[in-house]
Homo-oligomer: A and B are copies of this chain.
């Protein structure tokens, strides 16, 4: 039994944060309710669009993010996980004022790449246009020894961006084919694995057959859940 209460800053999108709670539960070694990790999920889908803010066409989400963090801290949470990649564009200002540690989703993805045996070489990266533009993954992963390739701009426009919007609108099954096409295109360009660097992308990928993908993918929802379990239960996950 643990007294470490996990805070989850979610709602971005709400399906991804619900899936995070599900995966957090399923990945936790447990034999009964009382073995699971106490957690508070602050699911606020009203947070202004992170992509629009990053591209300069919408208001900053930071005040909304801080409101959630303060709510989670008031609820007694000892660390915070944010199952939204794009929101990590505000990681530094959040960490500065949070008063509690925040797990970084890119570090969680790097740990997961090593877990599946890909400790270096070329990997593909998929995410929102904003996540790719802000170099959220590229800088941190380059520094740890991976080379990164990204979808072509027209693949972003035609395939990735519409598929992410489909998931946010609950049309998950439609997202599989366009996303799988991009995974396989990155594989044909030499990627040993593809990091699904937007929490909506794994939901679309899971809506179709896994054998339609030519390389392994890193699900950043699962990666972040594993990092959260490692925090709550040191020593239980590798």
A-to-B contact residues, CB < 8 Å: 1, 11-15, 17-19, 21-22, 24-26, 28, 30-47, 49, 71, 74-76, 165, 168-170
Contacts and interface: CB of A to CB of B under 8 A. Distances in A.
A34 B46 contact: yes
Contacts of A24: 14, 18
A71 B74 CA distance: 9
B33 A13 contact: yes
A33 B45 contact: yes
A12 B14 CA distance: 21
Given A14-B36, A37-B45, A71-B75, 10 more contacts: A11-B39, A14-B33, A15-B22, A18-B25, A22-B22, A26-B170, A31-B168, A33-B49, A35-B45, A39-B41
A81 to B, nearest CB: 13
Contact of A45 (B11, B34, B76): B34
Contacts of A169: 30-32
A54 to B, nearest CB: 15
Contact of A71 (B14, B22, B40, B168): B40
Contacts of A38: 11, 43-46
